[in-house]
Amino acid sequence: MTTQDGKKIDEAFEYCANITNQHYENFPVASLFLPKEKRPYIQSIYAFARIADDIADDEKVDSQTRLQKLEEWERMLKECYEGEPNHPVFVALKETVTRLSIPIEPLANLLKAFKMDIEKNHFINFDEVLQYCEFSANPVGRLILMIFGYKNEEYFKHSDSICTALQLTNFYQDVAIDLEKNRIYIPEDEIVSTNYSEDKLYKKQYDKEFVNLMKIQVDRARELFYAGSGLPSLVDRDLQLELKLIWFGGMQVLKKIERKKFEVFSKRIKLHLLDKVLIFLRGLFYNDLTKYRRRSIWDLT
């Protein structure tokens, strides 16, 4: 590698780091708890996904144009694997996937999810929601594991459960925001079975039927967190704390939704400083998340 090539790669990783640092996330992205040498790889993947997500969400642009832009982003992804990319995100991404032997599939699946965001705004049942999460969320966890050298299917299965739970948690935080975009991620059949309705949902009508509907969603997301709770114990310490912080972060959001009695219309539920302190302490003191109970001394806070 020439000095010029090295400079180009360094600048590309810096470009991705700036994108990562400019965006708020509830859950840590390439945080300081991760080894310094791994952060640029995570940031390159985050930048790739962030730009694609912004394309899909740009409602100032018509859907056909957004799809065309995503197809161009997908072409650049293929070029990243087959040739020499020019865009800084793909320069950094090529260095990442080459060094770590990461296949194109999980990255391509993320683009499938962003296309679905444009083409599909309702889900008939929970199986359809799971299929969306398979593309939108699960690839992220698998990519993180691969960055740390894990390519075991058992690990991927645990990761999929956590990532799907995180995606669902984000849906429940953003019910009101998604409605403004004409998107509903709560299954239609469950809206009907709880005697609620899409009409009431669009009117942001908060009643006992909505509470029952949301309780089903939140309980299921929590069970998925528990289904993946064994993952931190399987990985080495360089990734373990980060996974625990993400896990406890998602669980804390669900808890806050419950404490607000599932009223998610008026204000988006976020993690504040005290929440983050408690999450950090839990991450330090709990080594086996499978033994973390739904009711403990931490639930008094």
Looking at CATH, the fold of the domain delimited by 1-119 is given as Farnesyl Diphosphate Synthase (1.10.600)
* Domain ranges within the chain, ordered by starting residue: 1-119, 120-301
Given this chain, do its domains 1-119 and 120-301 carry the same CATH topology?
yes
Identify the burial level of 234 via C-beta atoms within 10 angstroms of its C-beta, where 0-12 means exposed, 13-18 middle and 19 or more buried.
middle
Q: What is the CATH number of domain 120-301?
A: 1.10.600.10
| 218, 250 contact by CB (below 8 A) | no
pLDDT of residue 71: 97
What pLDDT, on the 0 to 100 scale, is given for residue 295? 47
> Nearest Cα to 201, choosing from 213, 217, 193?
213
pLDDT by residue, tens only, the chain of 301 residues: 445 467 789 999 999 999 988 874 544 444 667 888 999 999 999 999 999 999 998 889 999 999 999 999 999 999 999 988 999 999 999 999 999 999 999 999 999 999 999 999 999 999 999 999 999 999 999 999 999 999 999 999 999 999 999 999 999 999 999 999 899 999 999 999 999 999 999 999 999 999 999 999 999 999 999 999 999 999 999 899 999 999 999 999 999 999 999 999 999 999 999 999 999 999 998 888 987 865 443 443 4
Per the CB < 8 A criterion, the answer to whether 92 and 40 are in contact is yes
- Looking at residue 290, its pLDDT comes to 84
